[in-house]
Amino acid sequence: MRLEGTVCPMPTPTSGRSIDIETLAEYTDYLVNNGVHGLFPCGSIGEFSSLTRVQRRHVLEAVADRSGDVPVLAGCGNTNTADVANHIEDAANAGADTAVVVTPYYLSTTQQGLQRFFDAVADDSPLPIVLYNIPALTGEGLPLELVKQFADHPNVVGLKDTSGDLTFLYDVVEATPSSFTVFQGATELSVASLDAGADGMIAGPANVFPGAVARLYESYRNGNRERTNQLMNEVVNPVVSATSEPPTAAAIKHLVTRQGYDVGEPLPPLPRLSDNQREMLDRCFESVQTSLSV
């Protein structure tokens, strides 16, 4: 299985503290029917750290059940290896294709500590592993040398890089085999990252306008630079800009609800959006909708 293209990091539909499985199933159908190339439940936008193990398992089961031929990259992040192993086991049993494992957070560590963590996770994993680098949220960045080392591990197949460091992503592409998938997680860098050799992007705006963001990748691969740039400027950049000031997961949930899928309020500790934030997001949504309808 080749991982590439536009992968959607899905929000988790909730009703109070419960998972809204019915809405999640309908929303998964919407993403699949609009052409995304991968589904990423239980990631940062999915508020994974606010969900119990049972809730995460139910999310993965619901998404995998409706994914069809679209790969499911299951978020399996946690701060200790035993919990990560449990999440990976649940993901494998649910029918996911890959486990995405973020660097451990809260406790500071070293390159040796990160190596111990990912060795323990990858050595016995029933699923291939995608490393997840997002130092702004975890406080720990994956060093290039460690990524190079893990690219040779038989159970590690790729990296999601949300460092925002395009030079780092380029260096990873250059230092790893072509079989090692590199995804850009900072969507505003999508085209520059594809130019640098990335295989795709894990793109928050794909939650709201999945067809357009999927077409962006396809236009790029087909050599249609004009259409690629148009979709970046009319869809991706406005959504990234509008979701950069409020908490991203909360902002994406609001925009998805505007698209007709009521995915609920963000879970604690995230705040509810202010009226001004909602109005700003509404203006963005309406502007992009109008540009896509022209």
Per-residue pLDDT of the chain (294 residues; tens, 9 = 90+): 789 999 999 999 999 989 999 999 999 999 999 999 999 999 999 999 999 999 999 999 999 999 999 999 999 999 999 999 999 999 999 999 999 999 999 999 999 999 999 999 999 999 999 999 999 999 999 999 999 999 999 999 999 999 999 999 999 999 999 999 999 999 999 999 999 999 999 999 999 999 999 999 999 999 999 999 999 999 999 999 999 999 999 999 999 999 999 999 999 999 999 999 999 999 999 999 999 987
Instruction: Assess contact for 231 and 216: CB atoms under 8 A.
Output: yes
Q: Provide the strand spans (E) within the chain.
A: 5-9, 14-15, 18-19, 38-40, 73-75, 98-102, 129-133, 156-161, 181-184, 200-202
For tokens 């949504």, what's the residue?
Answer: 285
Using the structure block, give the residue that is written with the tokens 């979701």.
Answer: 243
CA dist 199 and 20 (Å) reads 32
For 198, list phi and psi in degrees, rounded to 5: -65, 155
Is the preceding peptide bond at 269 cis, omega within 30 degrees of 0? yes
**To which H or E segment does residue 22 belong?**
helix 21-33
Residue among 132, 217, 220, 261 flagged as catalytic: 132
Residue 43, CA distances (Å) to 18, 192, 219 in order: 17, 23, 27
Measured CA to CA, the distance from residue 196 to residue 203 in angstroms comes to: 17
Active site residue 132: yes
Q: Return the half-sphere exposure (C-beta side, CA atoms, 13 A cut-off) of residue 243.
A: 26
Query: How many CA atoms, within 13 angstroms, populate the side-chain half-sphere of residue 217?
Result: 27
Report all structural domains of the chain as residue ranges with CATH numbers, in order of start: 5-225 (3.20.20.70)
Q: Full-prediction pTM beyond 0.95?
A: yes
DSSP 8-class letter at 151: T
30, 160, 253, 261: the catalytic one is 160
Q: Which residues pair with 7 in a beta bridge?
A: 38, 202
